[in-house]
Amino acid sequence: MPRSSLRIRILLLLALAVLSAYFLASSASHYVEVYRAIYSVKVSVLSIIYNVDFGKRVGRVNIIIKIENPSNREVEFIGGEGKIYLNGKYLGSLMFYAGEGVPVPPKAINFTITGIASIPDPYFRILEYAIDKGEFNWLVEAWIHFKIDIHVTIVKCYGEL
Amino acid sequence: MVNYEVYLLKLDLMRLIAVIFSTCLFVSSAYVYVHVYSAPALPIKVMAGLFCGFIIGFYSKDMKEAIISSFTVMVLALILIVFTLSLPVVLGIISEPGLANLFIISTIKTGISDMIFMFPSIIVSTILSYLLTERKLPSSRGKSLNAVIFN
């Protein structure tokens, strides 16, 4: 076989390797950048408001969470779930509804979302007891789902009030 | 003569490494591209696997080498894909241990499911190497491809 043909085959392999390495590197850097943007989002508990109906023994707690997005990318909030504790005792599960997604603009500082926790009857006495005593040590443990492009991931929120 | 044989063996090994390295990079880049951007996954994965098989089959000396190379590419591509997709954990972006574990498990599952699309590449490479070397098609001029390249 002529030497030029061998050279062409080796060059083809080399070109393939270089092109592939370029695509791999660019994809990987974009991927890392997206995750860096998502995980730079800071989530904290802003306030907790409770509504109780002593007659029906039904409680509802609204948890307002503050989101800060320091990145230059728009992050989409697509929901969340979690648990709420009162004075060290489990009170109920927590849900954040976002419909088809709520965009958190870039460089947003005071973006708030509200989660709802319905307190079922067996746990209502914990709330009742806390209201009687006037002691409220809330603990919120939530997993907030964010999305950029096609990448969906979870950011954990842990807050005490 | 002995030196010449050693030289040929070294060249043979280099060729094998070059083929495996290039195809592994190609397959990994295609699969990672699909995962990172919203590109049509199925056609790209299938085409990448077939193209990979074509390259391995074209550069292989015999069928055995084609099969071994294809399997090696599969394993290396799996490792590279899992490593690339778990970069947020490797670089410490996801620092929470529970989430990091979840992320790694998810990337391993993704990588393994991707490798299903690599099986056609083994068949393609084997058939191509069979046609080019064992059957001695007129295109190979009665010699194995390796002999054609290195003699």
Give residue-wise pLDDT tens across range B9-37. Answer: 677 788 888 889 999 999 999 999 999 99
Section A53-76 average pLDDT? 87
**A9 φ, ψ (degrees, to nearest 5):** -65, -40
Q: What is the pLDDT of residue B137?
A: 53
Residues in chain B: 151
Cβ contact (<8 Å) for A27 and B18? no
Interchain contact A7–B (C-beta under 8 A) = no
Interface test with B, best of A7, A26, A31, A43 (most B CBs within 10 A): A31
Distance CA B73, CA B121 (A): 10
pLDDT tier for residue B146 given thresholds of 50, 70 and 90 = low
Give residue-wise pLDDT tens across range A87-118. Answer: 888 888 889 888 888 899 898 888 888 889 88
* pLDDT top residue among B113 and A160: B113
Distance CA A8, CA B77 (A): 25
pLDDT tier for residue B151 given thresholds of 50, 70 and 90 = very low
Which range, of A72-76, A125-129, B86-90, averages the lowest pLDDT? A125-129
Interchain contact A39–B (C-beta under 8 A) = yes
Give residue-wise pLDDT tens across range B91-125. Answer: 999 888 888 999 999 999 999 998 888 888 788 88
A31: nearest CA in chain B? Answer: B36
Q: What is the pLDDT of residue A136?
A: 87
Q: What is the pLDDT of residue A122?
A: 80
Scanning B1-144, the segments in alpha helix (DSSP H) are 2-36, 41-59, 63-85, 87-90, 97-114, 119-129
Cβ contact (<8 Å) for B18 and A1? no
A11: nearest CA in chain B? Answer: B18
Torsion of CA B58, A13, B73, B42, to 10 degrees: -90
Scanning A60-158, the segments in alpha helix (DSSP H) are 121-133
Nearest CA to B72 out of B89, B101, B52, B44 is that of B52
Section A134-141 average pLDDT? 88
Whether the predicted pLDDT of B150 surpasses 70? no
B31: nearest CA in chain A? Answer: A24
The answer to whether A151 and A160 have CB atoms below 8 angstroms apart is no
Q: Which tokens belong to B49?
A: 């696997």
SS3 A153: strand
* pLDDT top residue among B135 and A143: A143
Mean pLDDT of chain A: 86
Distance CA A132, CA A118 (A): 20
Q: What is the pLDDT of residue B142?
A: 47
Distance CA B112, CA B82 (A): 9
Cβ contact (<8 Å) for B30 and A23? yes
Residues of chain A positioned with their CB less than 8 A from the CB of B87: 28, 31-32, 35
Whether the predicted pLDDT of A21 surpasses 80? yes
